[in-house]
């Protein structure tokens, strides 16, 4: 329990800007320190938010800023290193997804959090949409009956990031599946209350990125891009321990309707099917419930209100509240580990060309 405002910091001011806004909006937190390797970006954001604590070395920030909580928004390969350093400095952590590029690193993060008695939260910001929360409540109520199939996807027509380190396996650990797939894998399992995953059969592809095609932020080119070595799409089939199954379909690039960019979670049950379909990050007309009433098929279009905090702001508020109240946050390190295990199994299955079994599945 804490009866004062939490001192918060952010490492990495790309996606970290969304975390910073969450701390600024929280009545129970105070953003006191920022860290970024770009001095220009660091000073620009610190000036905008009137932050005195400015660092280009996160270890120095952890040592000097007297933080209670920090958000880690660095490239994927640095998540474990920075999170462990923060935890060992006595700081609670919100780590961007995926929490790590491999299972061993993720487990080490969890072990460190346990040893240091600090909270480790994974940034699954799409759980904090009003429509996502409605689907989870619907499933928990039992109104869909027995869930027997889940179909989760995130698909873009032209959406390969042409900036940063997204195309580097060393820095990011993977491509579209790690960038987008991690979100819909988590959403589907979270809505079903995390049934264990037994096996994965998968295939991945790298067809557009190396040729400079369908890329944001880079002029299309016919020249080969030699430093692009990650997947730009993939498909997987998962068998779940509760008898259900899940199909995962993710792409940064494909030939489809111009400017398509949507994520989709479909849960099919014996009493109804719930569909969450979000186009271009919008909030309107995202839900369908298909069921029967008096023996006839019925389509329900819920009118969910998007009031209050959403996304990163709500996620930050959740962790701050859990620290103030001495409770667990919604998205724990253990839940983050589940997605890392699945992603690692997807890449293993694709490389081996056959189904793989998950340990503990």
3-state secondary structure 293-351: ECCEEEEECCCCCCCCCCHHHHHHHHHHHHHHHCCCCCCEHHHHHHHHHHHHHHHHHHH
- What interhelical angle do 333-352 and 182-191 show, nearest 10? 120
All CATH 3.30.360.10 domain ranges in the chain, comma separated: 127-310+341-357
Per the CB < 8 A criterion, the answer to whether 233 and 252 are in contact is yes
Rounded Cα–Cα distance for residues 351 and 67 (Å): 42
The first and second tokens of residue 129, run together, are 């949409």
Count, in order, helices (H) and strands (E) of the chain: 11, 17
Mean pLDDT of all residues belonging to the chain: 93
DSSP state letter for 164:
T
Average pLDDT over residues 235-242: 97
- pLDDT at 184 > cutoff 60: yes
Question: Which helix or strand (DSSP H or E) is residue 15 part of?
Answer: none
Q: Sheet containing 356-357: which strands, arranged edge to edge?
A: 296-300, 287-293, 273-279, 261-269, 147-156, 245-251, 233-240, 197-205, 356-357
Bigger pLDDT: 218 or 113? 113
Look at domain 6-123 and name its CATH class: alpha beta
All CATH 3.40.50.720 domain ranges in the chain, comma separated: 6-123
Say what the pLDDT of residue 360 is: 59
What percent of the chain is modeled with pLDDT above 90? 79
**Which residues fall within 8 angstroms of residue 115, CB to CB, at 6 or more apart?**
none
Pairing type for strands 160-161 and 197-205 reads unpaired
Say what the pLDDT of residue 218 is: 60
Say what the pLDDT of residue 308 is: 82
Say what the pLDDT of residue 195 is: 96
Say what the pLDDT of residue 361 is: 52
Per the CB < 8 A criterion, the answer to whether 95 and 86 are in contact is no
CATH superfamily entry for domain 127-310+341-357: Dihydrodipicolinate Reductase; domain 2 (3.30.360.10)
Say what the pLDDT of residue 294 is: 95
- pLDDT tens profile 245-289: 999 999 999 999 998 999 999 999 999 999 999 999 999 999 999
Say what the pLDDT of residue 268 is: 98
Q: In whole angstroms, how far apart are CA 333 and each of 85, 274, 298?
A: 16, 27, 39
- pLDDT at 313 > cutoff 60: yes
Cα maximum dimension of the chain: 66
């Amino acid at each position: 329990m804490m009866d004062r405002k939490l001192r918060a910091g952010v490492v990495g001011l790309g996606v970290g800007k969304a975390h910073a806004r969450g701390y600024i909006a929280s009545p129970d937190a105070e953003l006191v320190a920022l860290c970024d390797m770009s001095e220009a970006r660091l000073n620009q954001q610190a000036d905008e938010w009137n932050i005195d604590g400015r660092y280009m070395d996160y270890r120095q920030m952890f040592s000097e800023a007297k933080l209670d909580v920090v958000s880690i928004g660095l490239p994927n390969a640095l998540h474990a290193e920075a999170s462990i350093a923060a935890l060992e400095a006595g700081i609670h952590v919100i780590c961007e997804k995926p929490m790590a590029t491999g299972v061993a690193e993720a487990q080490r993060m969890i072990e460190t959090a346990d040893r240091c008695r600090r909270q480790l939260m994974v940034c699954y910001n799409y759980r904090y949409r009003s429509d996502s929360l409605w689907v989870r409540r619907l499933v928990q109520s039992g109104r869909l009956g027995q869930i027997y199939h889940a179909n989760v996807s995130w698909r873009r027509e032209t959406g390969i990031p042409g900036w940063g380190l997204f195309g580097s396996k060393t820095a990011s650990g993977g491509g579209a599946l790690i960038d987008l797939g991690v979100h819909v894998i988590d959403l589907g399992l979270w809505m079903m209350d995390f049934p264990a995953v037994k096996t994965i059969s998968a295939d991945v592809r790298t067809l557009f990125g190396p040729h400079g095609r369908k890329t944001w932020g880079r002029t299309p080119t016919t020249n080969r891009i030699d430093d692009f070595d990650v997947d730009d799409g993939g498909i997987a089939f998962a068998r779940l321990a509760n008898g259900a199954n899940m199909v995962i379909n993710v792409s940064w690039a494909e030939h489809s309707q111009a400017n398509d960019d949507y994520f989709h979670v479909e849960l099919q049950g014996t009493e109804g099917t719930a569909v969450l379909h979000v186009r271009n990050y919008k909030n309107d007309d995202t839900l369908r419930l298909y069921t029967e009433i008096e023996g006839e098929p019925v389509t329900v279009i819920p009118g969910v209100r998007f009031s209050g905090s959403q996304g990163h702001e709500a996620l930050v508020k959740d962790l701050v509240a859990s620290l103030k109240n001495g409770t667990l946050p919604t998205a724990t390190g253990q839940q983050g580990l589940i997605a890392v295990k699945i992603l690692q199994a997807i890449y293993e299955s694709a490389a081996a060309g056959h189904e793989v079994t998950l340990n503990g599945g």
